[in-house]
DNA sequence: ATGGCTAATGATATTAGA
């Protein structure tokens, strides 16, 4: 099973690139952030192309800013839009969506930026992360879980190209890193860093000043997983090719390949037959052993 | 090859990104 996350910085501006990337990378599950579209507008642009490729769609957006989605070629059940118990600014913003995909509870997240440490958005970011931790604690007790997306936090100084550039800035503060550590304490593993402990790996490069060619980047798009998922990881990488050329997002996708669950057991998060199909097309809402064997 | 910001908007400047 291949699961990926990508902040595409406008699904409308990235329409052709997203489809090309799906055909090239062939992910089974995709978490998107910053679609910057309403639910209706997203479907208008993508429903046909994604349906033809076998993807079901769960989108949560209200138009100009934010916007998150999950696409799945397998099951896409028990969709939740928004972060339960999370703060707004001042009202709720579309920064989180969850679905159960082939036995894994998947969250696509766009954590608030924070802007500057003295901006109200910074306190909002920390409160939002605390609410996320509560959700992770509650849901990870029930089965396999992943949180993927743009966390707007560089976990360590090794995750920015020059820490001196971030003196006093958001994304690297102890409070933000503590909020991230609380997710790790709740049982999540940063599976990219676990696989590549000593490598320079970035997922975001500013559009300005040749940052990408110089590899002046940050690793802020994270893939966190409970232990039962983390131990299935075969490979994790950043698809830098998606950042090359013109008309790209300023983020690159992060891709995670998972081995089949032991004995085809996809875990207890799979809903019973009575709650199937509330959010998806097609007939297969429940994963079975044979489904698992069909996964790449 | 990867090139000196980009996208959306009640646009012609502003907000937001990080």
Beta strands A56-60 and A68-72, pairing class: antiparallel
Closest-lying nucleotide for A37 based on CA to C1': B8
**Closest nt to residue A172, judged CA to C1':** B18
At a 7 A CB cut-off, the residues bordering strand B are A 7, 9-10, 12-13, 34, 36, 63-65, 112-113, 115, 121, 150, 152, 170-171, 204, 206-210, 212-214, 218, 220, 241, 244-247, 250-251
* Residue A18's CATH number: 3.60.10.10
A2-7 and A29-33 beta bridge pairing: parallel
Contact indicator for A90, A130 with CB cutoff of 8 Å: no
pLDDT computed for residue A272 by the predictor: 56
Closest nt to A241 (CA→C1')? B2
Is residue A171 annotated as involved in ligand binding? no
The answer to whether residues A101 and A5 touch, using CB atoms and an 8 Å cutoff, is no
Transcribe A73-110 into DSSP letters. SS--EEEEES-TT---SSS--S-EEEEEETTEEEEEEE
- The bridge status of strand A29-33 relative to strand A56-60 is unpaired
Residue A279 has, within 13 A of its CA and on its CB side, a CA count of 25
Q: Which domain holds residue A188?
A: 2-292
Whole-model pTM? 0.88
Q: Is the peptide bond before A189 cis (omega within 30 degrees of 0)?
A: no
- Nucleotides in B strand less than 7 A from protein CB: 1-9, 16-18
At residue A48, the 3 state secondary structure works out as: helix
Q: According to the model, what pLDDT value does residue A63 have?
A: 87
Tens of each residue's pLDDT in chain A, 296 residues: 999 999 999 999 999 999 999 999 999 999 999 999 999 999 999 999 999 999 999 999 998 899 999 999 999 999 999 999 999 999 999 999 999 999 999 999 999 999 999 999 999 999 999 999 999 999 999 999 999 999 999 999 999 999 999 999 999 999 999 999 999 999 999 999 999 999 999 999 999 999 999 999 999 999 999 999 999 999 999 999 999 999 999 999 999 999 987 766 555 565 555 544 444 444 443 343 333 333 33
User: A152: annotated binding-site residue?
Assistant: yes
In this predicted structure, what is the pLDDT of residue A285? 39
What pLDDT shows up at residue A294?
34
Is residue A113 part of an annotated ligand binding site?
no
Count of structural domains, chain A: 1
Would you please indicate which residues of A are annotated as catalytic (active-site) residues?
A: 110, 150, 251
């Amino acid at each position: 099973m291949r699961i990926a996350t990508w902040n595409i910085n406008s699904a409308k501006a990235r329409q052709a690139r997203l489809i090309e990337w799906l055909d090239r990378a062939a992910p089974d599950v995709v978490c998107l952030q910053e679609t910057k579209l309403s639910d209706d507008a997203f479907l208008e642009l993508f429903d046909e192309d994604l349906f033809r490729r076998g993807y079901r769609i769960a989108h949560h957006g209200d138009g100009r800013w934010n916007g998150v989605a999950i696409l799945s070629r397998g099951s896409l059940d028990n969709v939740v839009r928004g972060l339960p118990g999370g703060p707004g600014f001042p009202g709720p913003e579309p920064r989180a969506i969850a679905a159960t995909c082939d036995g894994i509870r998947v969250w696509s997240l766009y954590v608030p930026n924070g802007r500057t440490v003295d901006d109200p958005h910074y306190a909002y970011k920390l409160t939002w992360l605390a609410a996320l931790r509560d959700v992770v604690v509650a849901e990870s007790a029930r089965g396999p879980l992943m949180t993927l997306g743009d966390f707007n936090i560089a976990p360590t100084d090794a995750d920015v190209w020059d820490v001196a550039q971030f003196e006093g800035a958001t994304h690297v503060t102890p409070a933000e890193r503590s909020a991230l550590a609380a997710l790790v304490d709740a049982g999540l593993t940063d599976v990219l860093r676990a696989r590549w402990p000593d490598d320079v790996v970035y997922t975001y490069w500013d559009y300005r000043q040749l940052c990408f060619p110089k590899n002046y980047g940050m690793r802020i798009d994270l893939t966190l997983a409970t232990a039962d998922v983390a131990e299935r990881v075969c490979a994790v990488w950043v698809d830098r090719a998606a950042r090359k050329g013109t008309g790209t997002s300023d983020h690159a996708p992060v891709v995670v390949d998972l081995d089949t669950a032991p004995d085809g057991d996809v875990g207890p998060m799979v809903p019973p037959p009575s709650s199937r199909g509330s959010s998806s097309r097609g007939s297969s809402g429940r994963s079975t052993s044979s489904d698992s064997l069909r996964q790449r």
